[in-house]
Amino acid sequence: MNASTTNAGKKQIIGQKPTSGQLALAEMIRTGGTRSADTISTLPVSHYTCPDHFAQEKAALFDRLPQVLCASALLPEAGMAVPHDATGRPLLITRDTDGNAHVFLNVCQHRGTRLVEGGEVQCAKRLVCPYHAWTYRLDGKLLALPRPETFPGLDKSEHGLVELPSHESGGLIWFAPEESADFSDAAKIGEDMSAFGADNHVLFRRKLHMVKGNWKLIMDAFLESYHVTRLHANTIGPFFKDGVTSGDTVGPHHRSAVGRLEEMESIDLTDMHQLRSVITFAYQLLPATVIVPSPDYINVMVLMPQAHDLTLVEDFMLIPEEPKTDKARDHWERSWNLLDGGVFASEDFRAAELGQQGLESGAIEHLTLGTLESGIAHFSETVAQALRAAQ
């Protein structure tokens, strides 16, 4: 969503090909097709304001389904670990000596002590409990413990860290609270992300936002283009055509594309670099992750609801390679400030907060959705299906 592309970014993108699904959405926009409904629809305000409804969503979605936890670039090398508490669980993400990512409960198997403190990425060959120094490998296996003779008969192989199901592809690390998790749709999303080159991107910035609004109000902003030239009139709005959009689904996950102002006649849509110059994709992943690949970088926003009216959003900005010059660093810094601070925080997240304030007032009983806002209605039905499946 920035106007220019660095030479470094261009080198990384040239030669990549879109997936068949991405290409189909682009062709729809080229031929004038739009993702729209035929009639007005409505959604109950209670879906955004009722604590009981939120509790049902938390149980059916966030306590059950596979979900994105972070960008792979958060742990770029083997021998790294980072605690993660924002989902409401004491999680620990590691990358073992073979380069494989794991998601554990951040709990020592001796006396239940928090194993790794803080919230920043740490470089470590092993994990040592601060209480009694029980020591674990980054693959979760118990390596050693002091005075082992005082634990007669203890089998170290039975005291490894509790690992949650996880999956890594396309530059994303997913996890699931339930053992029966199916990551097949996550793998398909990974194919799309790989087409953007996300596997090899590096982390430029990350920031945790506290948004005083329902998580779906944030998702809604990325499920329709009706607001783009209006809410974002002073930032990215001038880069886009009004309401020229297409969309589909990948399993329960939504994928959309919006036409930029650049002309498409001479564009080779099978070339990802050219495609991204005329179309911006957005991914709305169930339960609550938004991915926006701009022309030369990618924002991954992981939503972690805390209450019906409070959501933590962690924004990761991924770029093709580490900046090697002050000019490149300045380019990415301006892009970060534009998207994270200007567009997301000051406009999209602020709109969600204003929406929450209005809905809580009781002034309206339902949201009214126009034909360009059909993505919101489709996502709402996806959530409803997940609620029914959990009953």
**β-strands 122-123, 91-95: how paired?**
unpaired
State the pLDDT at residue 1. 37
Return the CATH number of 67-169, one of 3.30.9.90, 3.30.479.30, 2.102.10.10, 3.40.50.300: 2.102.10.10
How many helices, marked H, and strands, marked E, lie in the chain? 11, 20
Tokens of 69: 């936890």
Per-residue pLDDT, 196: 97
pTM value? 0.94
Is it true that 7-65+200-389 and 67-169 share their CATH fold?
A: no
| CA distance readout (Å), 13 to 71, 291, 379 | 19, 17, 30
How many other CB atoms are there within 10 angstroms of residue 361's CB atom? 10
Alpha helices in the chain (DSSP H): 7-13, 20-30, 46-49, 51-57, 184-195, 215-221, 228-231, 272-278, 326-336, 350-360, 374-389
Residue 93: exposure state from Cβ atoms within 10 A (0-12, 13-18, ≥19) = buried
Q: What pLDDT is attached to residue 31?
A: 86
How remote is the C-alpha of 93 from its chain's centroid? 16
Q: Which CATH class is domain 7-65+200-389?
A: alpha beta
pLDDT tens for each residue of 64-119: 999 999 999 999 999 999 999 999 999 999 999 999 999 999 999 999 999 999 99
Segments in the chain below pLDDT 70: 1-15, 33-36
- Domain ranges across the chain: 7-65+200-389, 67-169
